[in-house]
Amino acid sequence: MIYNRIQKQFAMSKRYSSSLTLIFGLLLFITPHCFAQSVVLSNGATAPIFSAKASQAGNEFDFSLKKALDKGPVVLYFYPSAYTGGCDLEAHTFAELKDKFTAAGATIIGVSADDIQRLRSFSSNPDYCAGKFSVASDPGGKIAATYGLKLIPPQAGVKDVRGVQVTHGFIPRTTFVINKNDKIVAVFSSGTDHISPDEHVKKSLAIVEKL
């Protein structure tokens, strides 16, 4: 089964994750929308508004968090890289549960430092995003910085599940659930909460179903 294969890839990729989490580059950016944060934003904070190049089902477009919030709550999830074990599992789980997020009126948007070319492929891959939700490109980590997340510098020798060298930096796996009033109502971090990639999805769903 696809899920079992992705779980196996995730287990294999865990040997890379320990080395990635040891190195964090300090990024302090000022964007047109807001300032970089020195700590990760927490419950009750106002979500920084951003726009970014994104793809869904292989189609590139300009994603606007403001427009998404006008429709209802948003699950904003940052992840290290497309086509790596944990991120593939997370995307696959979001795709499987997408109808339930839609029923709750929630928009899903993934953000990574992958370039838009990689995301066009990832967003349409039937094993992962499956064309069901959007993923946005944050190549310099500027969006992540406004949420208090620090980009891990590129790591020599890291390859994705296809054997392709990963040359971009890595954003720590962190999920923000944002209500329609632009307020963060939940934050999950694999680094501090020690939860698996698919648990980010399940916890997010449980929250948006109550909003």
Active site residues: 87
Q: In angstroms, rounded to a whole number, what is the distance separating the alpha carbons of residues 24 and 152?
A: 4
Q: Which two tokens stand for residue 130?
A: 């499956």
Other CB atoms within a 10 A radius of the CB of residue 197 amount to 24
DSSP label at 165?
B
Helices (H) and strands (E) in the chain, counts: 8, 7
Residue 146 phi, psi (nearest 5): -70, -20
- E-strand ranges in 65-173 read 74-78, 107-112, 134-137
Bridge partners, residue 111, by sequence: 78, 136
Which two structure tokens, joined as six digits, stand for 22? 């040891």
Q: What are phi and psi of 14, to 5 degrees?
A: -65, -25
